[in-house]
Amino acid sequence: MKHTFIYIILILFVLISIAACSTRTAHSPGQPSEKNTESQRLSRNNNSGSPYYYYMLAQLHNKKSDLPEAINLLKKAIDKDPESIFLKKELIYLYLEQDSYDKAMEFAKKILETDPDAIEILFILAKLKIKKDNTTEAKKIYNKILELEPDNKNIYLLLGKIYNREKNPDETFKLYSKMIEHFPDSYIAHYYLGMAYLDQNKLNYAQEEFLKTIELSPKLIEPRLRLIDIYKLRTKDQKKLNKQIIKTYKEILEIEGHNDFVSMEYALYLHNHKNKKIAAEIFLTFGKKSSEDEKFLLEIANEYIVKKRFKAAAVIFVEMLKASPTSSSLNFFAGYAFDSLKQYKTAIEYYQKVKPVSPYYKKSIVHTVFLLKDNKEVIKGMEILEQFHKFAPDDIDIIIFLASFYIENQKIEKCIKLLNAGLSVSKDNPALLFKLGICMDKSGKKDECIKIIKKVIQIDPDNAEALNYLGYTYAELGIKLDEADQLITKALELKPDDGYITDSLGWVYYQRGSYAKASEILKKAAELTAYDPIITEHLGDSYTKENRLKKALAEYKKALKKIATNNEEQKNQLEKKIKELESRINAQE
């Protein structure tokens, strides 16, 4: 039995030795020799129950991915040798593998209490601080490491990353200036120093650093792109700069001819500087490519549409369309670019060229309709939606859009018929039901409206619009005011800065007769909605009840200025209130 036990122990140590050889060699700026030295010291006392014994067992369990047991065994090793920095470091690494960052930080701090200059532990602690979003402490630690080890290139880069993210050009400048003192041939240091100068608008110094970067690493693209940025910022000697920019673009394309982004920027520059023939050839190439490669087209859209470079996008997509004039995708993106530039007629022209088979067709229809609405061509927009509805009668999005137009234009019977057809396709659809509830309200069927909106809330308890609508309906009717308060309060929890929901709460207090509180809430609602005329009228009503007549008059006049010209009913109502208030004020004076 004794021989069997010894045999098992020998096998265990062999396995552990193999495992140890395959584990980490260095976790960070570290001291591999320290690990070997202390492990040798521990191995001198390798009997069962010694710290080395538990350490080796922990290594074996770690190799088996049994982290909890590995941690437990390593803690036993530390209990046996509480002064061992080496064992504590190993425990930190296990905690990191387990994502137990708080425990890792705790042990790192314990080590630093006895060994404050342990670079490897300082490095780990800084990374943990960053994970906890404590970059202030992380910066202090990285700077301390640089004091201890000024030639640690990795720390310069990590610290620089923080300064860049914080947009701190002064600290970035100091850091990379110091790095260049230690690493004069580091192209990275020169590049980031150039970026710091560029952030400070010191163009000459930035240019020198980017040229030095290229000298040290001639095939780099980024410093050349930054040089182009600098040349574009200069105002003197445009002819010379123009040649320099074109030369730099050509250099980049010689190095990296497949760089589509640079080619596109080059074509844009040529197009904008009256060299449109060469630009057109490049755009034509991209136009042909886009018809074969949808991914490429989406990359262009991301670069110029998503990043809001709409002027450039308009040029690019119009020029690319010359290679593929019937492309629905190109027409859609061209339309979107002009839409964003507020050139609405041109945008609509491109949107209308998108074919029904295109995945962009519905988007182009919706954009067109809203542009027509903004330009007071509501009927035309409604007709386009009706045509699309005939083309795709089961499209719920279009039914909802069309229903909104019908409600706004008082076509309530049409709207009810449309929504019921939609509900036959998508039963209990909360969006369709909500619109139907509004239609019932508009047609004077309040009970039916309340029943439907309650059903919406039953299906979707966190539907803020439905909660608010039901609450406001109760408040408007002057009934169930406590329930109205609860409904609207929940809606506000879901949308805390919504001025229209805030108005509903104010109206509950108005109906309760708590006019001072109502005025306070309604004032906030008016501010949140940039003084929506209906909400502003509500505020005037509340001030009137408080007998703050001049304030009420001011709000009514403000509402009258903002009211839509076609809303004759509210206009007449406001004019009547203004006239009555003016009479009351004059009588008091």
Q: Within 10 A of 232 (CB to CB), how many other CB atoms are there?
A: 11
Q: Which two tokens stand for residue 528?
A: 């949140």
Q: Which two tokens stand for residue 339?
A: 């839409």
**CA 401, 428, 391 angle in degrees (round to 5)?**
40
pLDDT at 16 (0 to 100): 36
pLDDT at 18 (0 to 100): 35
- What is the residue type of 531? Y
Which of 149, 177, 196 corresponds to the end of one domain?
149
**CA 26, 27, 31 angle in degrees (round to 5)?**
50
pLDDT at 169 (0 to 100): 81
CA–chain centroid gap for 458, Å, is 32
| Residue 353 within a domain | no
Q: Which two tokens stand for residue 445?
A: 């069927």
| Residue 490 within a domain | yes
| Residue 460 within a domain | no
Residue 496 CB-density burial (10 A; 0-12 exposed, 13-18 middle, 19+ buried): exposed
Query: Tokens 């394309």 label which residue?
Result: 253
Which of 100, 132, 149 corresponds to the end of one domain?
149
pLDDT at 524 (0 to 100): 97
Spans of the chain, pLDDT less than 50: 1-36, 38-39, 41-44
Instruction: Return the half-sphere exposure (C-beta side, CA atoms, 13 A cut-off) of residue 298.
Output: 5
| Distance from the first to the final alpha carbon of the chain | 114
Contacts 24+ apart (CB under 8 A), 164-171: 164/192, 164/195, 166/135, 167/199, 169/196, 169/199, 169/200, 170/200
Distance in angstroms (rounded) separating the CA atoms of residues 249 and 270: 11
Check which CATH number belongs to the domain holding 525 and give it.
Answer: 1.25.40.10
Contacts 24+ apart (CB under 8 A), 413-417: 413/443, 415/439, 416/440, 416/443
pLDDT at 12 (0 to 100): 37
Q: How many domains does the chain have?
A: 2
pLDDT at 47 (0 to 100): 58
Distance in angstroms (rounded) separating the CA atoms of residues 298 and 286: 12
| Residue 135 within a domain | yes
Q: Please give the residue range of the domain that contains residue 30.
A: 13-149
* Residue 498, helix vs strand vs coil: coil
| Residue 279 within a domain | no
**Chain segment 102-131, per-residue pLDDT in tens:** 888 887 888 888 888 888 889 888 888 888
Q: Which two tokens stand for residue 74?
A: 């390593």
- pTM (predicted TM-score): 0.69
pLDDT at 260 (0 to 100): 93
| Residue 76 within a domain | yes
CA nearest neighbour of 433 among 468, 466, 479, 385: 466
Distance in angstroms (rounded) separating the CA atoms of residues 545 and 393: 50
| Residue 244 within a domain | no
**Chain segment 514-526, per-residue pLDDT in tens:** 999 999 999 999 9
Residues whose CB falls within 8 Å of the CB of residue 72, separated by 6 or more in sequence, listed in order: none
CA–chain centroid gap for 52, Å, is 50
**CA 220, 225, 228 angle in degrees (round to 5)?**
135
Distance in angstroms (rounded) separating the CA atoms of residues 401 and 407: 10
Distance in angstroms (rounded) separating the CA atoms of residues 198 and 211: 13
Q: Which two tokens stand for residue 292?
A: 């074969």
| Residue 126 within a domain | yes
pLDDT at 99 (0 to 100): 84
Which of 105, 130, 149 corresponds to the end of one domain?
149
